[in-house]
Amino acid sequence: MIKHMSTVFSLITLMMITSCDLIDDNSGNPGPDTDLPIVIAHRGAQSVLPEHTLEGYTKASEWNADFIEPDLVLTKDGHLVARHEPMLSGTTNVADLPEFAHLKTTKNLDGKMVTDWFASDFTLEEIKTLRAKQAFSGRPTDFDNLFEIPTFEEVIQLAKAQSLTRGKVLGIYPEIKHPLFHNEIFGAYFMEDQLLKALSKAHWNHKNAPVFVQCFEVAPLQYINSKSTVKLVQLISTYNINKDGSLDYNVPDGDFISYGAPYDFFVNGDDRTYEFFTTEEGMKFTTTYADGIGPWKPFIISYRTEDSGELTLLEPTDFIDLAHDNDLLVHPYTFRNENMQWSQGNPEAEYHLFFDAGVDGVFSDYTDEAVQAVSTWED
């Protein structure tokens, strides 16, 4: 019955896209009471194409992803563009362009001094002269230096076009990256307001739109919640996994504070780490502004490192049960074939492990394999 209703919703949604450019669809947003996890194409089709490109998002759509995930940063003139970080050298050819050599600089990003080229020092016109490249060693580089950096508006337009092309809604799952860093440049909540303007322009600034907005900071999500009904997800992280499988939230001096705690908490003198969000109190707090929580995988299933160096998977924690008891969706990150701690060389088994644990969706670099894993798990 659920699958039948999902098909009906999808058909209605596509009709609405055509008639009034408005998506009012719940079929792509399964929660604890539905049967299949969603697949979120992490940074596009990162396993084969440079991340955060229209070409990569298109490939992810062709692989039948439910959502594409654009990470968002700001340009000098206030445009939202899709990059994993404000730093550009790891994902573009900026270091090869002598006309931008003078823009290399050092900035404090979440407590760490970083030397690089920052998107916030480039106008959109300048950003558009850069070309994307593969960020992960060992992955294909055949398409390096070919594709432009897209704006958030262009990503939305692509999602709508792909929804019509494939006959199934393609949602977006934007992450606002380092809002405090950006808003120190542009003013309080500027980044959040730019996001909301773009969603409103697309008629997607409402709870039934195929949109999740995610962030590692808390205040930006609380602000968006006060202005919009769009669905929100609190991301959480940890600095390291201890030998016994417990999580270590203590970030060494000089590293990114946001690895262990929301950076806005730290700036405001709040000593709570991301561990807070694993508790009943933390889950209830999250429900006051968010619809879901996005943990790193070991929050759900961790592993112990034996003296021999071998890894032993631990039993699932109570994280998912706590979240679902508080009506929060759980979308863990990131599933990568290269990270074999959970898969032991069998990525499909890893997906099924987390599906069996009860996750509502997964962020994957290998979207085609994630979609296939949903299919085989369903069978």
The tens digit of pLDDT for each residue in 302-331 reads 999 999 999 999 999 999 999 999 999 999
User: Is 8 inside a domain boundary?
Assistant: no
Three-state SS at 21: coil
Asked which of 25-29, 59-63, 108-112 is least confident by mean pLDDT, the reply is 25-29
φ/ψ (deg, to 5) at 233:
-135, 125
Residue 331 a catalytic site member: no
φ/ψ (deg, to 5) at 192:
-65, -40
Rounded to 5, what percent of the chain is helix, strand, coil?
A: 35, 20, 45
Between 78 and 18, the more confident residue is: 78
Residue 27 above 90 pLDDT?
no
Counting the structural domains of the chain, the total is 1
Query: What pTM was estimated for this model as a whole?
Result: 0.92
- Alpha-carbon span 199 to 62, nearest angstrom: 24
User: Is 5 inside a domain boundary?
Assistant: no
Please name the amino acid found at residue 90. G
- Average pLDDT of 342-371? 95
Residue 4 above 50 pLDDT?
no
User: Is 188 inside a domain boundary?
Assistant: yes
Residue tagged active-site, from 52, 79, 84, 182: 84
Please name the amino acid found at residue 306. E
User: Is 17 inside a domain boundary?
Assistant: no
- Average pLDDT of 259-287? 99
290, containing H or E segment:
none
Three-state SS at 67: strand
pLDDT tens digits, residue range 156-208?
999 999 999 999 999 999 999 999 999 999 999 999 999 999 999 999 999 99
| Percent of the chain surpassing pLDDT 90 | 88
In terms of C-beta density within 10 A (0-12 exposed, 13-18 middle, 19 or more buried), how is residue 73 classed? buried
**CB contact set of 18 (below 8 Å; sequence gap of 6+):** 164
User: Is 18 inside a domain boundary?
Assistant: no
User: Is 24 inside a domain boundary?
Assistant: no
User: Is 73 inside a domain boundary?
Assistant: yes
Per-residue confidence at 9, pLDDT binned at 50, 70, 90? very low
Query: What is the predicted pLDDT for the residue at 108?
Result: 98
Residue 106 above 90 pLDDT?
yes
- Alpha-carbon span 346 to 57, nearest angstrom: 25
User: Is 351 inside a domain boundary?
Assistant: yes
- Alpha-carbon span 68 to 43, nearest angstrom: 7
Query: What is the predicted pLDDT for the residue at 30?
Result: 38
- Alpha-carbon span 197 to 182, nearest angstrom: 17
245, containing H or E segment:
none
Residue 42 a catalytic site member: yes
Tokens of 219: 């205040």
Q: Which residue has the tokens 């396993």?
A: 47
Residue tagged active-site, from 42, 79, 178, 182: 42
**CB contact set of 237 (below 8 Å; sequence gap of 6+):** 216, 258, 259, 260, 274, 296
- Alpha-carbon span 378 to 236, nearest angstrom: 28
- Alpha-carbon span 231 to 242, nearest angstrom: 33
Residue-range definition of the domain harbouring residue 267? 38-378
In terms of C-beta density within 10 A (0-12 exposed, 13-18 middle, 19 or more buried), how is residue 99 classed? exposed
For residue 132, the domain's CATH number is 3.20.20.190
Classify strands 247-248 and 240-241 as parallel, antiparallel or unpaired.
Answer: antiparallel
